[in-house]
Structure 1
Amino acid sequence: MEEKVFQMHAEVCKGMANPTRLRIMGLLREGEKSVEELRNKLKLPKANLSQHLSVLRQRRIVSTRRAGLNIYYKVANPKMIKACDLLREVLFEQLQESRQLIRGITK
């Protein structure tokens, strides 16, 4: 069972390991968005955006609903946003530490 969880964890991390997909998640944190809304905000060709959304959907990071001709995306589980936020906090802390190290070296 634990091995399966490690595999799932790795798959989710692979799915998120792209700046464009992280930007998509940043937009979806505000709530559900249509493909067209995402495309307009990200300035991406529709085919490119569809590939990224497909990766996120396959890994169950986002979910969809259809309304007429429109497809809407949302974060499948709000805990994904919390996980992204925690990682960003760690990265900001590391960036701050690096800046302090550089300041210490250049003094």
Structure 2
Amino acid sequence: MKNLPPEALAEVARYFQVLSEPTRLQILNLLRQGERNVGDLAQACGFSAANVSRHLALLTEQGLVARESRGTSVYYHVADESVFALCDLVCGNIARQLDDTASRRKAFAPGRRR
């Protein structure tokens, strides 16, 4: 992000904003297993088809997901696999932070003082 103009930073922020919603991350995880239509995704997520469609529209707008019409159905698939590398990086960082916090808490655990 070095030396990016404000317009470019705003676009980067929109990309991360799309990834900041748990339902969209759940949809991406489901699509990681293969393409699905809105009804399949809605059932797997436990949300309405309308709700899932709104999330898919945002994911599609950012280029993370692509859609393909087949007859009367629309199927979605991951268009940018690099999103999983980004998510794995973030998950690894969160796990390290949690491990560090747990280690620091152990220092204050009852029964450790003598």
- Provide the TM-score with structure 1 as the length reference: 0.89
The alignment status of 1:18 with 2:21, answered yes or no, reads yes
Match of 1:54 among 30, 45, 57: 57
For the aligned residue pairs, the C-alpha RMSD in angstroms reads 1.6
TM-score, normalised by the number of residues in structure 2: 0.84
Show CA shifts across 1:8-50 (max 9, x none): 2111101111111111111111121211211111010111111
**Which residue does 1:2 correspond to in 2?**
4
Structure 2 unaligned regions, length at least 5:
none
SS in 2 for 1:77: coil
TM-superposed deviation, 1:60: 1.4
Unaligned ranges ≥5, structure 1: none
Higher helix proportion, which one? Answer: 1
Q: Which amino acid aligns with 2:38?
A: V
How high is the sequence identity, in percent, across the aligned residues? 28
Aligned to 2:94: 91
Q: Which is bigger in relative contact order (C-alpha 8 A, separation at least 6)?
A: 1
CA offsets per residue over residues 52-102 of structure 1, 9 Å max, x none?
111111111211111111111111111111111111111111111111121
CA distance in 2 between counterparts of 1:97 and 1:73 reads 38
For these two proteins, the number of residue pairs brought into alignment is 107
